[in-house]
A = this chain, B = another copy of it.
Amino acid sequence: MGYWLKKNGYPELICVSFNYGQKQVIELKSARAIANKLNAVQQILDIQFIKDILMRSNSSLTNPKIDVPHGIYTKDNMQSTVVPNRNSMLLTIAWTIACTKNADVLAYGAHSGDHYIYPDTRPEYLEAINLSLRLGSADSRKDNLNLIAPFINWNKAAIIQEGARLNVPFDLTWTCYEGGEIQCGLCGACSERKTAFALAKISDPTIYKD
């Protein structure tokens, strides 16, 4: 996303990351490496206050007693990776930063492959939350501030092809839902990543455990 924003008229970036008690907290390291490459500020917010609430939810991404499902994404096996209301919380908090920093845009990495399972990645949701955030902060933000999701109708293969055009360092990016030091290659997210590289016909520099 950072590479796309720099190319599309937003030279100055703040990269916002969250620690919400996710198993794959190592993704924050990847985010930092990419922010450094982009000469961008990384702001990590610790919102683990929400961990207690989410641990008791049925999400395999935050409840240590529930295993992350492996294999290809289907409605059934991936339902457990839903973290209730997660994206609304993350986007709303990031919007506050955008308000206080007088930002022109808040960018969100939703993509079309997620629409089937995650309702908070769909275009109608994007439109609704953008309106709600704009109305709720009408007096404390730049007039033109909007939530955008440039890839919301792109699949992962198309995003990888765009990334290749923009020289994104794919070896630094993180996808895996498991908590390991190396991406597992087996969970739903890793499976989807592998498939997307194959479909995009771009060679995948990722080192997988499996």
Does B140 contact A84, Cβ atoms closer than 8 Å? yes
Q: How many residues of A contact B (CB 8 A)?
A: 40
Does B93 contact A137, Cβ atoms closer than 8 Å? no
Does B131 contact A128, Cβ atoms closer than 8 Å? yes
Q: Does A36 contact B (CB under 8 A)?
A: no
Does A136 contact B85, Cβ atoms closer than 8 Å? yes
CB distance from A134 to the nearest CB of B (A): 8
The residues of B that contact A164 with a CB separation of less than 8 Å are none
Residues 114-154 of chain A, each 1 if its beta carbon lies under 8 Å from chain B, else 0: 00000110101100110111011111110000000000000
Excluding A85-B92, A85-B95, 14 further A-B contacts by CB distance (< 8 Å) are A47-B49, A50-B96, A53-B97, A57-B99, A57-B140, A82-B139, A84-B100, A88-B92, A88-B136, A89-B92, A119-B135, A120-B135, A124-B135, A128-B132
